[in-house]
């Protein structure tokens, strides 16, 4: 992917790629001759205005171009996400240990009087204390609205090789932590999702976790065959797809807490966040307004505006809610 292509050959290579994978070359920000390698072409930027961001302040937008695989509401941090019929994986196994999600889930629980005592190491206690300090920070607390009830939702979007491969911010939010799971690099196409159990949990992935005005927000960039390399624009020094890490796919994730503590990295809706070096998958897990009763048609409840199999582009609404 990174091998330089002779200038005279570049337009022919990229046009052949576009024909094979249905890429729109008219959106490319630069002339084809200026992309030195297939990798440069693959993570290319687009012309200004090609991906307008939905201006509705009560909308959550797609962070990528791709195909909607699955979406829905989750019953708590321990809920399962369907991969395909018969295959599912838990939110906790996808995200890793998430003190932030656990504490926000506890905060929204109606039974605050019941507590569960857990044994933890000194490191885990220290991390939990850090998250409590983060939540107590006025700058973070101000970003969370006073809506009394939050539901937990998810959305899985698959990127084909011909899709635009940069990841953008779906909302205004504060990124507080990053986790990198070395994992494997199985393909993530339709056939693979039907045959490989726990596919997204087994594969290499990068998790960004933080807070937005409605509570918890996480973006999971899942690697695949030929696409272990995931670039984070907010952390350029991060290196993924390292050969030594492939030898121990079950090793604990590498975690990085963004400075300043309690604020992290602030992103605006539509900001560039990361890029894949080939087709892959993005999973969103987030809190949003919900009603206490499924029979209560509350206008303020978050509602998805998509269907399974829909093609979606960066900036288009995944769902909306009302103040």
> Mind telling me the catalytic residues?
65, 168, 280
Tell me the C-alpha distance between 255 and 268, whole Å: 23
Q: How many CB atoms lie within 10 A of CB 268?
A: 11
Asked whether the CA dihedral 66, 70, 72, 76 is positive or negative, the reply is negative
DSSP symbols for 175-223: EEEEEEE--B----SHHHHHHSTTHHHHB-EEEEEEEETTEEEEEEEE-
Q: Which two tokens stand for residue 272?
A: 């560039």
- 312 CB contacts (<8 Å, ≥6 apart)? 62, 65, 66, 67, 68, 157, 306, 318
CA-based nearest residue to 233, from 215, 221, 245, 249: 221
Give, as one character, the DSSP assignment of residue 90: E
For residue 146, which phi and psi values (nearest 5 degrees)? -90, 15
Q: 3-class DSSP state for residue 104?
A: helix
Residue 21 C-beta-side C-alpha neighbours within 13 Å? 18
- 143 CB contacts (<8 Å, ≥6 apart)? 172, 173, 174, 211, 212, 213
Question: How large is the angle between the packed helices 122-136 and 99-108, nearest 10 degrees?
Answer: 60
């Amino acid at each position: 992917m990174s091998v330089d292509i002779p200038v005279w050959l570049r337009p022919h290579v990229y046009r052949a790629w576009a024909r094979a994978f249905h890429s729109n070359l008219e959106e490319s920000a630069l002339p084809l001759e200026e992309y030195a390698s297939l990798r440069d072409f693959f993570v290319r930027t687009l012309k200004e205005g090609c991906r307008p961001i939905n201006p509705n302040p009560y909308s959550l937008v797609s962070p990528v171009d791709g195909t909607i695989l699955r979406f829905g509401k989750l019953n708590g941090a321990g809920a399962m996400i369907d991969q395909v019929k018969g295959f599912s994986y838990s939110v906790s196994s996808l995200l890793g240990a998430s003190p932030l999600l656990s504490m926000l889930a506890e905060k929204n629980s109606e039974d605050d009087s019941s507590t569960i005592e857990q044994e933890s190491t000194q490191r885990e206690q220290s991390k939990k204390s850090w998250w409590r300090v983060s939540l107590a920070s006025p700058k973070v607390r101000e970003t969370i609205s006073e809506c009394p009830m939050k539901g937990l939702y998810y959305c899985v979007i698959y990127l084909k090789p011909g899709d635009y491969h940069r990841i953008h911010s779906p909302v205004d939010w504060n990124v507080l932590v990053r986790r990198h799971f070395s994992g494997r690099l199985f393909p993530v196409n339709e056939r693979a999702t039907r045959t490989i159990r726990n596919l997204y949990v087994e594969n290499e992935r990068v998790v960004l976790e933080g807070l937005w005005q409605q509570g918890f927000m996480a973006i999971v960039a899942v690697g695949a065959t030929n696409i272990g390399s995931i670039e984070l624009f907010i952390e350029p020094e991060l290196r993924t797809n390292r050969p030594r890490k492939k030898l121990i796919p079950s090793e604990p994730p590498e975690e990085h807490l963004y400075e300043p503590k309690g604020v992290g990295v602030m992103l605006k809706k539509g900001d560039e966040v990361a890029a894949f070096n080939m087709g892959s998958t993005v999973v969103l897990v987030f809190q949003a307004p919900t009603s206490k009763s499924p029979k209560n048609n509350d206008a303020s409840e978050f509602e998805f505006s998509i269907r399974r199999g829909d093609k979606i582009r960066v900036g288009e609404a995944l769902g909306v809610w009302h103040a």
